[in-house]
Amino acid sequence: MRLEGKIALITGGNRGIGEAMVRLFSAEGAKVVLTGRRAEMGDGVAAQLRAQGRDVTFVRGDVSEEGSVADLVAGVLDRHGRLDVVVNNAGIAPASPVETMDVAVWDDLMAVNVRGMFLTCKHAIPALRETRGCIINLGSTFGVVGAAGSAAYAVTKAAAINFSKSLAVELAPDGIRVNAICPGGTDTEFLHEWFDSTGDATGTEQWLIGQHPLGRLGTPVEQAQAALFLASEDASFITGHALLVDGGYTAQ
């Protein structure tokens, strides 16, 4: 029960890594609010966990819209009276060579992956200051190494890493910790959508597995466990860090 009594907000918590975090954080005692654009998925996750006696609420929202984010944070505070943990997990990952990428696709990536992270932090900071809480942003191995065919996505994840480091320094006087986790290839629907977007799903999957010295993709639960560590008091002296959970991908 490492998060007992804590209130956690997880964006993009209706599937994949985000859903695994919702399940693990609530199992560890947190009251969790998850948000996402797909209401049916989010409602389903929340209803299943409430049936198990956990305090989990889904709020439909779009992190790229400031009004939606402001309402989301205000709703968490109205419901729970405090906020301890924020996980910026919401993201999209369309693949395209830079030369042929549509500007609208680029803008959508920046809006969801970067502006959404910024807006959620902006509106959550006052509440986190009261609890000396923490923020966890989702980076990626592609924020550390090059990613041919996914340069736009990689830019957003490099942004997440540096944003985490910069915000950690900015908020350290308030006792707010800010870290990032950087997953390697993780077996989720999100990843398989990225495989499909490359035009060679099977070939891309085999290539990605081959980049991991451990010889496999990670699991959502493995990523959630890393996030749990950073959210817990076990990581009380860790801030400004980007934790690579990548099966050795970036060690080569």
pLDDT score recorded for residue 194: 82
- DSSP assigned state of 183: E
Q: What torsion, rounded to 10 degrees, do the Cα atoms 150, 251, 211, 243 define?
A: -60
Query: Quick one: pLDDT at residue 226?
Result: 98
Query: DSSP string covering 4-25, please?
Result: TT-EEEEETTTSHHHHHHHHHH
The pLDDT of residue 170 is 98
- How many domains does the chain divide into? 1
* 185 in any annotated domain: yes
- DSSP SS3 for 31: strand
Give the CA count within 13 Å in the CB-facing half-sphere of 151.
9
Q: The whole model's pTM is what? A: 0.95
Does 23 reside within a domain?
A: yes
pLDDT of residue 79: 97
The residue to which tokens 């970067």 are assigned = 114
- Is residue 233 domain-resident? yes
Is 63 inside a domain boundary?
yes
Mark whether 249 is an active-site residue: no
Residue 40, domain member (yes or no) = yes
Residue 45 token pair = 């996750």
Q: Which amino acid is at 100?
A: T
Q: Put the strands of the sheet holding 31-36 in their side by side order.
A: 56-60, 31-36, 7-11, 85-88, 134-138, 177-183, 242-245
Q: How far is CA 101 from CA 108, 113, 153, in A?
A: 12, 17, 12
The DSSP bridge pattern shows strands 85-88 and 242-245 to be unpaired
Helix (H, G, I), strand (E, B) or coil at 150: coil
* Weakly modelled stretches of the chain, pLDDT under 50: none
The domain that holds 87 is classified in CATH as 3.40.50.720
In a domain, 2, yes or no: no
Q: Which domain holds residue 165?
A: 7-251
Rounded distance, CA 92 to CA 8, Å?
A: 22
Q: Which entry of 153, 194, 195, 249 is annotated as an active-site residue? A: 153
Q: Is residue 42 part of a domain?
A: yes
Run of H or E including 137: strand 134-138
